[in-house]
Structure 1
């Protein structure tokens, strides 16, 4: 197990400007409660993940990306064949969630780093969730919502980055049309 005591602790609810985040990215422990909850179309809720032991990655022009420990995952996930590469963290693996009472799985919207590089070794096997499941809730049979403490997060524009936007995160963010060349 990696000693994480030397990794900085994120401030709780301080206003932050994404243009002041570092490049290369930085890893922080977060004191916040992180949750992902699936709600079926009839209103039944299932906790997918719940933790106060997460990390967040900060990178210039991006809202924080949160990583939750494997022990916080309350439902089975299946690894998919999809992989991507991050120049800072290494090779990412992706996962599928089969929602209860749903006919369609949520595929490749959860990722992890089985062998992260450099300063990111503390997030080995931790899971990160896009702020939305990326499929219409009628087709999926429901929707997931992500929370930092009790605040439901907003979705980072585009479908490449997985940052979570809370009310204290400010600044023009990468991901939407016209932002790729920054």
Structure 2
């Protein structure tokens, strides 16, 4: 079984599910039981400040972070926050990933986001994408996704609108070159 952990799934043009259309998904975990990932380029009409207000967490309203958009991380547990971030421990529920990344789901990280105690780089998403055993492999075989090694600069350093095109460009492909037809030799 190929391991897609620490890879991006780049949605092919034929994938027109609104949750995944032109999406880039970071795969946090992948095993024989299935996969879990976070869509990194679908901003919601919700800012970090909006979310912190709703949760009654104090924050610095002048912070640039407070104005940044929260992403729709996927259709599973879309009422739950997932913070994909650069290394910073000390939170009560953090999973250490590959490539110097962590994902934290506990509320304690939210209290840090607009303060100097925040991780250097992070992306806040509501929900995640999940696949059952064999489902992701089948979707890849069906030409729904391109797969490339993840690149932290795409996650953290680009505006959301540039992530899909930049990720496809890493493969040497221009978006207009993608077809909806699957080819199997």
The two structures have a TM-score, normalised by structure 2, of 0.30
The two structures have a TM-score, normalised by structure 1, of 0.31
- Higher RCO structure (Cα 8 Å, ≥6 apart): 2
